[in-house]
Amino acid sequence: MVAMTDYAGSKLAWCPGCGNFGILSAVNKALVELNIEPHRVLMVSGIGQAGKLPHYTRCNILNMLHGRTLPAAAGAKIANPELIVIAVGGDGDGYGEGGNHFIHAMRRNHDITYLVHNNQVYGLTKGQASPTSDLGFVTKTTLRGATMPLNPLALAIACDASFVGRGFAGDVEHLANLIKMGITHKGFAFIDVLQPCVIFNRKNTYNWYRERVYKLEEETNYDPSNKAAAFNKAQEWGEQIPIGIIYRKQRPTFEEQLPALDKGPLVKQKIEIGRIEELLDEFL
């Protein structure tokens, strides 16, 4: 059986009180409760405080350029569908620099889990407004207040992502269960995690969120397969903020539709040297 000590990583270097601590605990808890050995997991991350998470646990790790997390994660899953691939990024990394990749990963429905640490600010570069900063949020780059924020949940539902969820770093148990459902989901599982930044975002604090978040699974009439209802839930922000599974559906994954994988993972298939030489002669 897998234990929490199997995922114990190096010394953490986040600010005391950072929401990343809760996310890391939830990720490790989810993997242990699913009894997934570290060697079966690949975490791909971008740049930023969120991108450091894989360094603080034990598994296979690939660090990418800013905003380029998802293409590498998708490539790894195509090469070896037996891997549990988890992409990790922040709201700037994922929704700013990586916004285009985000859209197409959802469209293709790669069988990976994407965790976005959403603190609504650029933390690593010292507090600039991010794509999800609240309207009017004042920073050193938005002296008159940030403009209209991106709604990543509404975007994901519009792109027909097959799993759209939202968690809160201050509720590790709930977030771990949400991550478990994302990992076991067949297809692109996107989880936006509300993550307080105790240094550069003094508005969206732990207490601010705790006064507003509510769990969708406690609403007996909510159906996450209802796209219109999910889109309405994605619009809720301010006095009430839903967490849990916002939208979920089943559709073929990108990997299931690749004929090249009919014989198994590419990494296990025999390389036909003669065929490669034929291709080189044809294209060069």
* Measured distance CA(148)–CA(152) in Å, rounded: 13
Going 240 to 132 to 127 to 88, the CA torsion angle's sign is: positive
Domain ranges of the chain: 4-253
Q: Which pLDDT belongs to residue 284?
A: 80
Q: CA 251 from chain center: how many Å?
A: 19
* Measured distance CA(153)–CA(159) in Å, rounded: 10
Please give the model's pTM, rounded to 2 decimal places.
Answer: 0.93
Q: Which pLDDT belongs to residue 126?
A: 85
Blockwise average pLDDT, block size 10, the chain, 284 residues? 90 92 97 97 92 92 91 95 95 91 96 96 87 90 92 97 98 98 98 96 95 94 96 95 98 92 83 73 82
Confirm or reject CATH 3.40.50.970 for domain 4-253, answering yes or no. Answer: yes
DSSP state letters, 39-50? GGEEEEE-SSSG
